């Protein structure tokens, strides 16, 4: 059985706001399985926004675990991410999950992977998924050469550029912003 995969998630922290977006495409082999998947979720009463790439069921399992960690550590996103990464690496069940997360709050962006990594991206731009390098490149260029743009504009424009290039990314963009 083929796995459902492929997506683009992008987060940018710029001028005091963080914006994160994901496209809506889920792909099974070389077929579009669904075009309007919502891969962005708000946690902690909207103070944390998370985007996921990879297997949807696995990502939801990780989102639930991450939310539990956020609750256990008083909303401290970095601490919750580190504890999730530790569990993800050592727990026999979690270790098999195939997904990645980007978590963002008003102050920081983190990329969380199953290899135990919790990365704070350079230049306050992070991307995961099949179209990540297209979206990240566009966001870095816009952030550098058009600093007057808002975080929302940079993310929206970069996601559309990625969707124009990556066959696993579509224009059904879901975007959330935290001030």
What are the pLDDT digits (tens) for 107-134? 999 999 877 789 999 999 999 999 999 9
User: Checking DSSP bridges between strand 26-28 and strand 31-34, what pairing results, if any?
Assistant: antiparallel
Match 């919502």 to its residue by tokens: 38
* Mean pLDDT lowest among 47-61, 66-80, 129-143, 154-168: 47-61
Query: Contact 10/49 with Cβ under 8 angstroms?
Result: no
> What digits encode the pLDDT tens for the residues 10-63?
999 999 999 999 999 988 888 888 999 999 999 999 999 999 988 777 888 889
How far, in Å, are 5, 22, 79, 92 from residue 86 at the CA level? 24, 26, 11, 12
Decide if pLDDT at 99 tops 90.
Answer: no
The boundaries of the domain holding residue 171 are 4-178
pLDDT band at 5 (very low <50, low <70, confident <90, very high): low
Greater confidence (87 vs 9) lies with 9
> Does the pTM of the predicted model rise above 0.75?
yes
Contact in structure between 21 and 51 (CB atoms under 8 Å): yes
Give the active site residue among 7, 8, 27, 56.
7
Q: Is 177 annotated as catalytic?
A: no
Tally the domains of the chain.
1
């Amino acid at each position: 059985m083929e796995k459902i995969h492929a997506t683009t998630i992008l987060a940018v922290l710029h001028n005091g706001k963080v914006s994160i977006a994901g496209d809506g495409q889920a792909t099974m082999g070389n077929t579009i399985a669904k075009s309007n998947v919502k891969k962005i979720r708000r946690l902690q009463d909207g103070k944390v926004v998370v985007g996921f790439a990879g297997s949807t069921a696995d990502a939801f399992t990780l989102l639930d675990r991450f939310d539990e960690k956020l609750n256990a550590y008083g909303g401290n996103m970095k601490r919750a991410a580190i504890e999730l990464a530790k569990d993800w690496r050592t727990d026999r069940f979690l270790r098999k999950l195939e997904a990645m997360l980007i978590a963002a709050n008003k102050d920081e962006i983190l990329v969380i992977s199953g290899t135990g990594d919790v990365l704070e991206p350079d230049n306050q731009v992070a991307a995961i998924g099949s179209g990540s390098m297209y979206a990240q490149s566009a966001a870095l260029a816009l952030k550098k050469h058009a600093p007057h743009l808002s975080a929302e504009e940079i993310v929206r424009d970069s996601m559309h550029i990625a969707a124009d290039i990556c066959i696993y990314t579509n224009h059904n963009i879901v975007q959330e912003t935290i001030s």
